[in-house]
Amino acid sequence: MEKIAVVGTGYVGLVGGAGLADFGNTVIGVDMDEAKIRTLEKGEVPFYEPGLSEVVTRNVKEGRLSFTTDFASAVEECGIIFIAVGTPEGEDGAVDLSQVDTVARDIGRHMTGYRVIVQKSTVPVGTAVRLRRIIGENQSERYPFDVVSNPEFLREGSAVEDFMRPNRVVVGTESEKARETMREIYAPLYLIKTPIVETTCETAELIKYASNAFLATKISYINEMANLCETVGADVQTLAYAMGLDKRIGTKFLHAGAGYGGSCFPKDTKALVKIAEAAGCRASIVAAGIEVNQSQKRRMVEKVIEAAGGSIEGKTVCLLGLAFKPNTDDMRYAASIVLAEGIRDAGGTVRAFDPVAMDNARRLMPFVEYCHDAYEALEGAHVAALVTEWNEFRRLDIERMKKLMSSPAVVDCRNVYHPSDFEEHGFTYIGVGRGRHDVESS
């Protein structure tokens, strides 16, 4: 079996590279970020992802996984090249493909024979064609190559498990030879009967966006229902529970909260709207979901102001959790950013604690006072806002909170608390969509 180069050792590239090595392949992780590669060479993982360090260490030790910044040698040495670089949002919401283009150009320049190029980054429809063109234009000699679209569906926080036991694998290519190579790479997944969807590049590229946009829209849907619940005095927790009992709807992604964030949903939904526009179509449901999400994040600022009695001018707000979701240190598009900036702009001071995301948060929000634990962050606060539902925030000592805070008020942006637990201790409790929270067991 040919060696595999995985270009990009971020969340997807590192988890994917380590996972492919665990499947028995020999993998070289390539990154232009020298500091990242040095960290990996020391046996450390440069970001927080549960269970990843063990898989990386095991495969490095067994000689199946190594790291380099030497792109040219990796492309010379490996017959299969996975592209897992970033595809961030560009200025107008469309995807910025510059990292992918650079990698394609450099693959073309350095390839020395037949190569299978596997696109793992999330990229718009038509990128496989674009890759073929850029690689072809940059070759020094005419070497044959095939392009595969193999989008990744892992979730940060459970990325290792998601990669090792995915719900499905999508393989888009026009080449039977490349399809056969992919079957060999993913052989262990065939053994555990993982559904493998073999299709064209265009369909594979669109499957990723359609899946993410559907999930994001489901979140916006329940958030819209939560806002309606607040107005009519209904309880969204019970509403979502009852909706989810219908197997056609399902319970997942029906949790009202502060809106979706992270490195994927916000940019992928915007990208899908742009992809549709470029194709002369309208993705109006997705566009509406984006709008609902943006206003949901701002709504959390209003809730904090309401909990503070109408103004937070000169007051202090404690944010419990900053990462866009638990079990990650990723701060990209986190709801905490809109909340912290909104509080600052309304004249308030922000104190915060997050178990792992504070180093990343400091770079984005230097105006926040970062604390060593939840109780230190609560000292002197007029309002506590639960922003990221880390387990350690689920069972806080409410009496201790009350003693530490300047006034007893909590905004539960994730609906993790029972309102009465706080209200019994004299707290003002504001959740999301809990108009009249008469049912607490759901």
- In this complex, which beta carbon is closest to ligand NAD, that of residue 74 or of residue 312? 74
The sign of the CA dihedral 421, 297, 162, 15 is negative
Q: In whole angstroms, how close is the CB of 354 to ligand NAD at the nearest point?
A: 18
Cα distances from 96 to residues 127, 202, 213, 293, 425, in angstroms, run 12, 18, 18, 22, 50
By CB under 6 A, residue 36 contacts ligand NAD: yes
In angstroms, how far is the first alpha carbon of the chain from the final one? 51
By CB under 6 A, residue 68 contacts ligand NAD: no
414-428 in b/e form (b: 16+ CB < 10 A) is bbbbbbeebeeeebb
- In this complex, which beta carbon is closest to ligand NAD, that of residue 126 or of residue 244? 126
Phi, psi dihedral angles at 438 (to 5 degrees): -85, -15
By CB under 6 A, residue 12 contacts ligand NAD: yes
Near ligand NAD by CB under 6 A, which window of 78-86, 294-302, 306-314, 349-357? 78-86
Q: In whole angstroms, how close is the CB of 21 to ligand NAD at the nearest point?
A: 17
By CB under 6 A, residue 37 contacts ligand NAD: no
Number of residues that bind ligand NAD (CB under 6 A): 27
Is 264 noted as a catalytic residue in this protein? yes
| CA pair distance 255, 220, nearest whole angstrom | 10
Sheet holding 316-320, edge to edge: 369-370, 349-353, 316-320, 383-386, 409-412, 428-430
> Nearest residue by C-beta to ligand NAD?
10
Site for ligand NAD in 101-130 (CB under 6 A): 102-103, 121-122
| CA pair distance 325, 354, nearest whole angstrom | 11
By CB under 6 A, residue 205 contacts ligand NAD: no
By CB under 6 A, residue 8 contacts ligand NAD: yes
Per DSSP, the residues of 236-302 read HHHHHHHHHTSTTT-STT---SS---SSSHHHHHHHHHHHHHHTT---HHHHHHHHHHHHHHHHHHH
Pick the binder of ligand NAD from 4, 5, 6, 11 (CB under 6 A).
11
SS3 category, 400: helix
Pick the binder of ligand NAD from 264, 301, 322, 378 (CB under 6 A).
264
By CB under 6 A, residue 33 contacts ligand NAD: yes
Near ligand NAD by CB under 6 A, which window of 2-10, 172-180, 276-284, 427-435? 2-10
By CB under 6 A, residue 99 contacts ligand NAD: yes
Near ligand NAD by CB under 6 A, which window of 152-160, 236-244, 383-391, 423-431? 152-160
Q: Give which of 52, 6, 233 is closest to 159, Cα–Cα.
A: 52
Non-local (6+) Cβ contacts of 436 within 8 A are: 233, 234, 235
Pick the binder of ligand NAD from 5, 9, 272, 337 (CB under 6 A).
9
- In this complex, which beta carbon is closest to ligand NAD, that of residue 283 or of residue 350? 283
Half-sphere exposure of 50 (CA within 13 A, CB side): 10
Site for ligand NAD in 281-340 (CB under 6 A): none
H helix or E strand, kind and range, residue 409: strand 409-412
Q: In whole angstroms, how close is the CB of 51 to ligand NAD at the nearest point?
A: 15
Question: Catalytic residues, which ones?
Answer: 264
Q: Which residues bind ligand NAD (CB under 6 A)?
A: 7-13, 30-33, 36, 71, 84-87, 99, 102-103, 121-122, 152, 154, 156, 263-264
